[in-house]
Chains A and B, each alone.
Chain A
Amino acid sequence: MARLRIDNVEVEVGAGATLLDAAAKAGAEIPTLCYTRQTGAQASCMVCVVKDAGSGRMLPACSAKAEDGMEVDTRGDEVAGLRRETLLMLLSEHVGDCEAPCTRICPASLDIPGLLRLMSGGDESGAARVAQRDLVFPATLCRVCGAPCEKGCRRAQYDAPVGIRACHAALGEGMPERAEGSGKTVGVIGAGLAGLSAAFTSLLRGHACRVYDEAPVACSSVRVRYAQQLPAEILDAEVESIRRMGAELMLGRAVDAAGVVSTCDAVIVACDAGAPVAANVFRADEHAMPARSVANGKAGARAAEAFLRGQQDQSSRRYNSVIGKLRPEEIHAYGVTRLVDDATSEAGRCLGCDCRKAVSCKLRQHADRYGIRGPVKRHMDRPAIAAIEVLGPVLFEPGKCVKCGICVELSRQSGGGLTFAGRGLDTRVELPPGGRISDDLAMRCAEACPTGALAVRAGEERP
């Protein structure tokens, strides 16, 4: 039994308890990467560092034992600074993309690899729902967008970029599900692409929504600008589906901005008109580039959503790890296990450059928590790209491994599987020559791996 103070909170823990256990009892949340209950402490990532005030020593909370009379600091500036620096080191070593380059380029951040995987798997309506969710006006955009995404497509380095725009243009209609009603109402001033995207996104999140505009028809400026490429019925149908989803369109009437602000829980201003400044008023500017208008609308809705739920708007500012340019000698390794040469469909040509664990990855979560904005300066040469390995149902992407040792320990407990090889900066996880790993063990390793290094091939995390 030990009695100690964690951030000045007194706690009592049983014999053998670690500082991590004691902190949990004191309600202090300590970030970890290399710790799981089943594998115990590896003491490798050093992200869980805390300060023992008595000795002044920095200790990994996962393995340091709680001792009687200890005074432990888990969140002072020095501790937070060391965690941040240590995370920066892991990110400097990290060779992986959180988001695919095409998605990063797409102004509306369409989850392109996710959509293409659904398509090539035959789930056309699922793919259509993704397009609708991310693009709001998929049919409109595929006629008016210059497809910058295709310029970033890595497949171009092997043969030709994936025809991303043509793929999503071929999709039919698909409506994502609305979240449960929140009882809140969002008012949107301006019924252009930005305003309606804000409205649609707010509806999806479960809010009621009213859209106000003086003009009698929605999206009038796009209609004029793209009269050539964009048949009116296409845009009308997309506006109609937003209305059908529940948007109340109040068009062709003078807008009383102050009145809207006082009657709605949150207001998104999506027109040039000056709007009252208030805590519940957000902006979503129209942009000359239609896809950017959509992006602005979604961002405005996210900000309003965060306000309504009393949370911080994180989603739009997540840390993004990027590999950067492939060196000529790396192109083979990058693609060797991703290329599907006999792809039967265009969508099947996608290399899947995104991360299967973009949401659950603890490294990315901690980077966000410690205010790291990517991409980080590595201060050293980027480690070379190593080919993805296929372990049955699981993909192993060595560049994303943080050498935490969890999968190695799980393998040891199961009597074989993954091991460490090499040392220093060349430490790597591998299946030893002639070694095997069962599907079950591979799945458990993927589940426990804190990053996207081991991920279930069929896994999709983006909501």
Chain B
Amino acid sequence: MREMSAEDVIGLIDRSGLRGRGGAGFFTARKWREVRNAPGEVKYIICNGDEGDPGAFMDRMTLESYPFRVIEGMLIAAVATGATRGICYIRAEYPLAVSRVRAALETCGGAGYFGGRILGKGQEFSVELREGAGAFICGEESALIATLEGRRPTPSLRPPYPAHQGLHGYPTLVSNVETLAFVPWIVRHGPDAFAEIGTDRSRGTKVFALAGKVLRGGLIEVPMGTTVREIVEEIGGGVAEGRRLKAVQIGGPSGGCIPESLADLPVDYESLTEAGAMMGSGGFVVLDDRDCIVEMSRYFLSFTQIESCGKCTPCRVGTKQMLEILERLCEGRGSGEDIEVLERLAVTVKRNSLCGLGRTAPNPVLTSLKYFRDEFDAHINGKCPAKKCKALITYSIKEDCIGCTKCAQQCPAGAIGMKPYEVHEIDAVKCVRCGGCFDVCPVDAVEVN
């Protein structure tokens, strides 16, 4: 590093093909060059560790376990971009990450890594730590900058991009934790070692938070281009015995749902976007045949709807309208035109929202509609094919019942009378459809319809 010029560093990152891991996948070297070329006596680097996506925790893991990698990445980026000030912006709900990064920053400061002559160059750089303002939208770069300036966390139209006009109007590099953590590795091992992994346009590896109906979940790091099926089966150990893979939701609540029929899709930026999903934060939730697609769309949208900052009309109002329609469908109160209206609202929110939150919030709904439209139609007709939506199912006990009374002991609503050695019955009025009896019956005598 001590021998390398800024141009050398940017060239190196360029050759590695590194793209931003914060969601959109912008080429990192191109962004660095923009910041380098933008005029400004002060330039900032912000490490985006706001990770507001539910179920994603790779940035947390990196910040807690490898804070030095991230700081090193920031130092290298500072040399490349000419930045003079750095900010580690960390989600306030990650106290351990905050304290570890704080300690790491102190260590680096004490060891002389910051100050007037970083990495042996005549350049000043230091890093301060700031805690996030506690909302998902604070991870969006223009809203993040607004909070640092003491304003309400609402996004603004880009362009101008932060690279040209960022914090306090100065050129600012906003980069994700994972992106920055890759940088020292690339410098140490050379760009080719990184570029060798992955696909033509998506190089290197990506960390996913594998969850849902797989035998083994957790954080996984895979080469870009690994197929959905490989991740589910080889890494996750497949879905449970007797169950069938139905779909995977990739990219968190802003991502999309990829059906089993497309499971051989390679996981890279372009393929995912084409299928209507996105890399997003790297959420990877596996669904099996007992998961209801309509209910999943409702669940994911309920997150983005709550997190909408409320600034622009389509996202503020449209997500709420969509959510209420999905709630009606799940409760069996859907009406004929609901699906058409839902689709129209989704397109408007996607096309006309101001920032990435609104522009991606409809993805789960749009992909579900694209690949599983018949399940939506079924809900209008009062049926939940996955037998999941409580308002649309009934539990009953077949003649196979051996009268063991386990179900009656289990039932929290007292809907099953205790009748040892007789065939039990469920009082449909009292039943709260928790499925407890279904799970405890030793002879599978409980039936869902």
Show the binding face of A for B, using Cβ within 8 Å: 41, 43-47, 49, 58-60, 63-65, 82, 85-86, 89-90, 92-93, 378-381, 402-403, 405, 420, 422-427
Q: Mark B296-324, 1 if CB is under 8 A from A, else 0.
A: 00000000011111111110111011011
Main secondary structure, interface of B, reads helix
A422 vs B324: C-alpha distance when bound (angstroms) = 20
Q: Mark B368-384, 1 if CB is under 8 A from A, else 0.
A: 00000000000000000
A243 vs B223: C-alpha distance when bound (angstroms) = 90
Query: Which of chain B's residues have a CB closer than 8 A to the CB of A43?
Result: 156-157, 311-312, 354
Question: A44 to B317, Cβ gap below 8 A?
Answer: no
Question: A425 to B320, Cβ gap below 8 A?
Answer: yes
Query: Which of chain B's residues have a CB closer than 8 A to the CB of A427?
Result: 309-311, 316
Given contacts A46-B352, A64-B157, A424-B316, contact A89 B321 (CB under 8 A): yes
Question: B348 to A379, Cβ gap below 8 A?
Answer: no
Query: Which of chain B's residues have a CB closer than 8 A to the CB of A49?
Result: 352
The contact size tier of chain B is 20 to 34
Q: Which residue of A lies closest to B322 (CB)?
A: A379
Question: A426 to B314, Cβ gap below 8 A?
Answer: no
A423: which of B309, B318, B345 is its contact (CB, 8 Å)?
B309
Q: Is B121 an interface residue (CB 8 A)?
A: no
Q: Is B353 an interface residue (CB 8 A)?
A: yes
Q: Is B426 an interface residue (CB 8 A)?
A: no
Question: A89 to B317, Cβ gap below 8 A?
Answer: yes
Question: B313 to A379, Cβ gap below 8 A?
Answer: no
Question: B313 to A86, Cβ gap below 8 A?
Answer: yes
Question: A90 to B317, Cβ gap below 8 A?
Answer: yes
A-B contact pairs, 16 of them (CB 8 A): A43-B156, A43-B311, A46-B313, A58-B352, A63-B157, A86-B313, A89-B314, A378-B321, A379-B324, A402-B313, A405-B311, A423-B310, A424-B307, A424-B309, A426-B310, A427-B311
Kindly count the residue-residue contacts between A and B in the assembled complex, taking CB atoms under 8 Å apart. Answer: 97
Q: Which residue of A lies closest to B342 (CB)?
A: A379
Nearest-neighbour CB distance to chain B for A69, whole angstroms, equals 15
Q: Is B24 an interface residue (CB 8 A)?
A: no
A64 vs B344: C-alpha distance when bound (angstroms) = 25
A85: which of B307, B308, B325, B344 is its contact (CB, 8 Å)?
B344
Query: Which of chain A's residues have a CB closer than 8 A to the CB of B308?
Result: 423-425
A64 vs B354: C-alpha distance when bound (angstroms) = 11
Question: A82 to B313, Cβ gap below 8 A?
Answer: no
Question: B316 to A86, Cβ gap below 8 A?
Answer: no
Nearest-neighbour CB distance to chain B for A253, whole angstroms, equals 57
Q: Is B398 an interface residue (CB 8 A)?
A: no
Question: A46 to B353, Cβ gap below 8 A?
Answer: yes
Q: Is B430 an interface residue (CB 8 A)?
A: no
Question: B316 to A45, Cβ gap below 8 A?
Answer: no
Q: Is B159 an interface residue (CB 8 A)?
A: yes
Question: B316 to A425, Cβ gap below 8 A?
Answer: yes
A424 vs B320: C-alpha distance when bound (angstroms) = 9
Given contacts A85-B348, A424-B307, contact A45 B317 (CB under 8 A): no
B314: which of A41, A86, A380 is its contact (CB, 8 Å)?
A86
Nearest-neighbour CB distance to chain B for A188, whole angstroms, equals 45
Q: Give residues 312-368 of B contacting A (CB, 8 Å).
A: 312-314, 316-318, 320-321, 323-325, 341, 344-345, 348, 351-354
Q: Which residue of B lies closest to A94 (CB)?
A: B317
A59 vs B157: C-alpha distance when bound (angstroms) = 9
